[in-house]
């Protein structure tokens, strides 16, 4: 497992709830995998030179315990499989008592940027890249695709701004989560989250949030003007043990 240590910062908290929310956890996880890639010389510069990119297809996040201001945390990640043009990666966040705070499963697509299409991962990629394999985390894996409910409410549209964009010139994966969190009630504590990414929103695009609520599930599609989702974020709330 590749890992780094950190401490929960004031600037990372959801201040209405006093804890790290999903988008902050996802940012830690994305940074962790980016650090690993850079340390293995498989980072942004390498991928750009090779006309390749890893695009995130889906997240599944389970939050077991809340992380709060000042907590010392360890963030870790490891790849557990490459198959076809898909890469599979786990993430974990622990406190200084070695308790698991959050764990995630993620699925990535290996894309040829010159054609814009997925391309097969070389058979020896795990070894030659240095990522290697470790066993998958023992969590129940949810379906990759999210069925968006037929009944939903279309909310106020907004325009994609520069602050939403990453180095690939489209809305960052974590930004979709942060944008979707805006539509959760203040008293809604997320225990589980799933995200499915379907299309890439770029600077100046109009996004229409579509909200569907069913008991403890809040599902938000961030969609184009024809209600075709760029991303679907499903939040499941329940009390902590």
User: 154 pairs with which residues across the strands?
Assistant: 210
The answer to whether 164 and 198 are in contact (CB under 8 A) is: no
CATH topology of domain 145-241: Thiol Ester Dehydrase; Chain A (3.10.129)
- pLDDT confidence of residue 187: 85
**DSSP assignment string, 126-185:** HHHHS----PPPS-PPPPSS----S--EE---EE--GGGB-TTSSB-HHHHHHHHHTTS-
- In b/e form, how buried is each residue of 9-37, taking b as 16+ CB within 10 angstroms? eeebbbeebebbbbbbbbbbbbebbebbb
- pLDDT confidence of residue 241: 47
120: DSSP letter: P
- pLDDT confidence of residue 17: 79
Give the pairing of strands 153-154 and 158-159.
Answer: unpaired
| CATH class of the domain comprising 1-140 | alpha beta
User: 114 pairs with which residues across the strands?
Assistant: none
Return the structure tokens found at 131. 């990522």
The answer to whether 205 and 160 are in contact (CB under 8 A) is: yes
Q: What is the pLDDT of residues 175-199, one digit of tens each?
A: 999 999 999 998 889 999 999 999 9
- Decide if 1-140 and 145-241 have a common fold: yes
**Opening angle at CA 67, ends 232 and 213, nearest 5:** 30
The answer to whether 215 and 185 are in contact (CB under 8 A) is: no
Q: Domain spans of the chain?
A: 1-140, 145-241
Name the 3-class secondary structure at 41.
coil
- pLDDT confidence of residue 196: 97
CA distances from 160 to 48, 72, 205 (A): 24, 34, 5
Name the 3-class secondary structure at 158.
strand
Look up the pTM and report it.
0.93
How many angstroms separate the CA atoms of 147 and 82, rounded? 25
Count, residues in the chain: 241
- In b/e form, how buried is each residue of 55-80, taking b as 16+ CB within 10 angstroms? ebbbbbbbbebbbeeebebbbbbbbb
Distance between terminal CA atoms of the chain? 28
Regions of the chain where pLDDT drops below 50: 241
């Amino acid at each position: 497992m590749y890992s780094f240590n950190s401490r929960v910062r004031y600037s990372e908290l959801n201040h209405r709830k006093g804890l790290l929310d999903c988008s902050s956890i996802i940012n830690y996880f994305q940074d962790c995998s980016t650090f690993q890639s850079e340390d293995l010389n498989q980072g942004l510069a390498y991928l750009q030179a090779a006309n390749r990119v890893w695009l995130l297809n889906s997240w599944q996040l389970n939050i077991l315990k809340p992380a709060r201001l000042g907590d010392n945390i360890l963030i870790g990640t490891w790849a557990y499989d490459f198959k076809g043009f898909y890469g599979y990666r786990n993430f974990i966040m622990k406190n200084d008592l070695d308790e698991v705070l959050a764990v995630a499963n993620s699925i990535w697509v290996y894309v040829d940027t010159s054609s814009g299409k997925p391309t097969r991962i070389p058979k020896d990629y795990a070894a030659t890249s240095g990522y290697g394999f470790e066993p998958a985390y023992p969590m129940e894996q949810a379906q990759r695709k999210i069925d968006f409910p037929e009944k939903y409410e279309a909310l106020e549209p907004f325009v994609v701004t520069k602050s939403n964009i990453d180095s690939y010139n489209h809305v960052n994966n974590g930004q979709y989560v942060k944008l979707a969190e805006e539509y959760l009630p203040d008293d809604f504590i997320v225990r589980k989250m799933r995200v499915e990414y379907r299309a890439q929103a770029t600077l100046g695009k109009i996004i229409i949030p579509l909200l569907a609520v069913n008991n403890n599930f809040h599902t938000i599609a961030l969609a184009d003007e024809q209600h075709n989702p760029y991303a679907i974020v499903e939040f499941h709330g329940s009390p902590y043990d």
